[in-house]
Amino acid sequence: MSARALLERMRRGEAVIVPGVHDALTAKLAERAGFSAVFVSGYGLSASLLGEPDLGFVEMGRVLDAAERVVSATSLPVFVDADTGYGDAFHVERVVEALIARGAAGCFLEDQEWPKRCGHMERKSVIEAERFLPKLRAAVAARGARDFAITARTDARAVHGLDEAIRRAKLYAEAGADLVFVEAPQSALEMRAIREAVPEEVVLVANMVEGGKTPMRPAKELAEDGYGFVLFPVSGLLSAVRAMERTFEVLAREGTTAGAAETMRTFAELNEITGLPEFYAREKAWLR
């Protein structure tokens, strides 16, 4: 499905649930589960690649490499967390071109200072809207008429309050963003106020982070409040970490994984997920 087609579904009032992924395998699992798109999560990359918190440690090259691997692993539209664009408007231009070349369906750009922090962490700082707007315009110009969706994110709610976040959301919509993402509103009332202020044709992002600052709400309820892109950026990662912890704890304690079998896929099942039967079939044709 194209980015444009996905956005049209959202504009018609559908809430499209998008899970965060951090590598090719998690992208394959998301596609098997029946999702319509995936999101390459910066938090997920920082945790999985570096074992570090999302404090701006993942540079542009690593993000582009991860995006390329995920795009290659799935037929779904792939949206990529491009953080602040890793510099000024020229850097944003370059990262948009690079993501399009790799087959991504869209990117998220935010108005934090670099190095940035996860949107649900403390002591964030944002640049002036007037400094972010040239970066957003550069992204829109670099995209041109190509099928690539640009999301403008503001973290101003935590720094300057809801009114400033809404002001920026409107500015970013006027500057050509396809989607607008006000990070970390603190109630359903705040989310409704954002929707009322932003033009209806602009898709809004709801970011559902378990344990984050925004109340967790079901997709149906978010759709009723006018949110089309319903992002669950770390749900898979949180689940995977717990399952691996459980298995490692059992193995360290008992010297066997038998007691953790319920948390594990079988070797044969993982081979099927990664496509080994298809590789065997191709190999058989070559060997005849």
Burial 59-75 (b: 16+ CB within 10 A, else e): ebeebbebbbebbebbe
Give pTM, 2 decimals.
Answer: 0.96
Domain residues of the chain, as ranges?
3-235, 241-287
Burial 130-143 (b: 16+ CB within 10 A, else e): eebbebbebbbebb
Q: How many CB atoms lie within 10 A of CB 262?
A: 8
pLDDT of residue 150: 98
Q: Which fold has domain 3-235?
A: TIM Barrel (3.20.20)
pLDDT of residue 1: 81
| Cα–Cα distance for residue pair 277/198, rounded to 1 Å | 49
pLDDT tens track of the chain, all 288 residues?
899 999 999 999 999 999 999 999 999 999 999 999 999 999 999 999 999 999 999 999 999 999 999 999 999 999 999 999 999 999 999 999 999 999 999 999 999 999 999 999 999 999 999 999 999 999 999 999 999 999 999 999 999 999 999 999 999 999 999 999 999 999 999 999 999 999 989 999 999 999 999 999 999 999 999 999 999 999 999 999 999 999 999 999 999 999 999 999 999 999 999 999 999 999 999 997
